[in-house]
């Protein structure tokens, strides 16, 4: 069996104790996730995080740091994901931006509001990334090295 981990990015965007979340339709139900997605060919991790956040929320963001690098195997399909999670600040909203297919919209939620909706999380990585962010896990963007 060939093992092919998926490289993904996610962005934690916080404003006044609220976090930018994505409501999406996945596997027959509506779920919450950070703005997140797969790294595209010939794309940097930072560019992927900026692109995915815009495509899923309509927000331009400026990455400010790296929160962590997470390895997660989805129990639903056995696929392993390596997630690089960034912190970012919201820069500009484009309310008329055409969001990706399956995206129902963006929501700003507090941690408590997220906890109350635990059954709707796409994965446990949501709260882990937010809690690491709140605990002060902020590493320099210089941690991400460009390809040679």
Per the domain annotation, does 80 fall within a domain? yes
Residues shown for the chain: 148
Specify the pLDDT at position 139.
Answer: 96
Specify the pLDDT at position 107.
Answer: 97
Q: Write out pLDDT tens, residues 41-90.
A: 989 999 999 999 999 999 999 999 999 999 998 888 888 889 999 999 99
Specify the pLDDT at position 34.
Answer: 97
Range of the domain at 114: 6-143
Per the domain annotation, does 1 fall within a domain? no
Q: Write out pLDDT tens, residues 82-126.
A: 999 999 999 999 999 999 999 999 999 999 999 999 999 999 999
Per the domain annotation, does 58 fall within a domain? yes
Give me the CATH number covering residue 45: 3.90.79.10
Per the domain annotation, does 130 fall within a domain? yes
Per the domain annotation, does 138 fall within a domain? yes
Per the domain annotation, does 148 fall within a domain? no
Quote the CA–CA distance of 19 and 123 in Å, as a whole number: 16
| pTM tops 0.85 | yes
Confidence of residue 26 (pLDDT cuts 50, 70, 90): confident
Cross-strand bridge partners of residue 36: 10
Question: What tokens does 63 get?
Answer: 């990455």
- Structural domain count, the chain: 1
Per the domain annotation, does 109 fall within a domain? yes
Residue identified by tokens 């990455």 is 63
Q: Are 7 and 70 in contact (CB under 8 A)?
A: no
Per the domain annotation, does 113 fall within a domain? yes
């Amino acid at each position: 069996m060939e093992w092919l981990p998926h490289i993904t990015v996610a962005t934690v965007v916080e404003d006044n104790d609220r976090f930018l979340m994505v409501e999406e339709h996945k596997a027959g139900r509506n779920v919450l996730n950070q703005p997140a997605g797969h790294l595209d060919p010939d794309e940097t991790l930072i560019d992927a995080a900026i692109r995915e956040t815009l495509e899923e929320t309509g927000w331009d963001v400026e990455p400010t740091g790296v929160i962590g690098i997470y390895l997660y195997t989805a129990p639903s399909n056995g696929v392993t994901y390596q997630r690089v999670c960034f912190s970012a600040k919201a820069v500009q909203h484009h309310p008329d931006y055409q969001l990706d297919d399956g995206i129902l919209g963006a929501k700003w939620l507090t941690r408590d509001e997220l906890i109350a909706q635990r059954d709707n999380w796409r994965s446990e990585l949501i709260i882990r990334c937010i809690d690491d962010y709140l605990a002060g896990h902020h590493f320099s963007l210089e941690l991400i090295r460009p390809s040679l």
